[in-house]
Amino acid sequence: MLAPMQGLTNRALRAYFIEHVRPDVIFTEFIRVNTAPAGMSITAADQQDIAAEQGGVPLVVQLVGHGREALVSAARVAQKCGAAHINLNMGCPYGRIGGSQTGGGMLRYPEGLAEVIPALREVIAGSFSIKIRAGYDDPDQILSLLPLFESNGVDFLVLHPRTVVQKYDGVADHGVTTRVMRETRLPVIANGDIRCAADGERVLSESGVAGLMLGRGAIADPSLFLRLRGLKKHNPGPAERREELGRYLEEILTSYGRLFCGDTQVLNKVKEIIAYLEEPELAKPLKELRRARTVRAFKTALDELC
């Protein structure tokens, strides 16, 4: 599965992945649920991103919010807009989201979950999944929540085994993933720090999970999906890597030109992808790409990359 990544996995980037590496499942970026009683639970702009699939690949619509009524109402609206698969974000660690009862903050007040989870299950006709951290500050908290998820018909879990307070520090501890696998009959998708095919293979074999979700590793190298399926070399040589990267960024630059407005925005959005590229052997060309101030300068730097 391709991970939901707010600011990155927009429709155009998802289309690139669908065309070139075809993940089995894709997610929307998180969709904020409005809790103000008078407002629409999902904004009109967000509603436009909702569908059951994109390019024939199942599209999971991810909701982030709190409060039973607001979440139930948002799930209803999402389904009216065509959603067939709904995911609840119980992992986001940032800002007001993590600090309140929303996203990862839901794990800070687990007593509220006994209300929210059955209510969502009741209104979601298709698949209902949860994307979750290992715990708020205790990496074993997830184990205590499994009975609630199982008894309320959750279809699958996506586990990012860091705590909420940990944010992105340290490493994802897939030992937790293995413990969760031993204790639940729910399908578990492992997520976190899968940067190369060997990482993914290790997590699959050690934990026995049903599948993997790829985030930052796939943004840096979309072919990670193909490498994991054995359809491309695990580790490409430097020339091959440069060529792949050049073609990826060139195509994204073109499709972002259609989705976003004006050179500055297009350039900034492409640079958000480049922020996830860390290969030391590409340091020089990446620096040139980051320094480009116009689309034209960026294209020149791209020509030098390939």
Ligand X SMILES: Cc1cc2nc3c(=O)[nH]c(=O)nc-3n(C[C@H](O)[C@H](O)[C@H](O)COP(=O)(O)O)c2cc1C
Whole-number CA gyration radius for the chain: 20
Q: Which stretch, 6-14, 104-112, 114-122, 284-292, contacts ligand X (CB under 6 A)?
A: 6-14
In the complex, least distance from residue 194 CB atom to ligand X, rounded to whole angstroms: 5
| Nearest one of 72, 23, 15 to 49, comparing CA atoms | 15
Alpha-carbon distance of 281 to 186, in angstroms, equals: 42
Q: Please say which residue, 3 or 289, places its beta carbon nearer to ligand X.
A: 3
Residue 41 touches ligand X, criterion: CB under 6 A: no
Cβ closer to ligand X: 177 or 242?
A: 177
Out of 58, 78, 190, 193, the only residue in the binding site for ligand X (CB under 6 A) is: 193
Q: Which is nearer to ligand X, 219 or 305 (CB)?
A: 219
Selected binder of ligand X within 1, 2, 4, 164 (CB under 6 A): 4
d(CA 191, CA 187): 13
**Residues contacting 148, CB < 8 A, separation 6+:** 113, 114, 117
CA distance 88 to 202: 27
Query: How many angstroms separate the CA atoms of 105 and 101, rounded?
Result: 4
Among 65, 215, 222, 285, binds ligand X (CB under 6 A): 215
φ, ψ of residue 276 to 5 degrees: the values are -95, 5
Tell me the residue nearest to ligand X as measured from the CB. Answer: 215
Site string for ligand X, 82-111 (x = CB under 6 A): -------x-xx-------------------
Whether 165 contacts 93, CB under 8 Å:
yes
199 in contact with ligand X (CB under 6 A) = no
Nearer to ligand X, 41 or 301 (CB): 41
- Asked if 131 is part of the footprint of ligand X (rule: CB under 6 A), the reply reads yes
H/E stretch holding 162: strand 156-163
Positions that interact with ligand X (CB under 6 A): 3-8, 29-30, 62, 89, 91-92, 131, 160, 191-194, 214-217
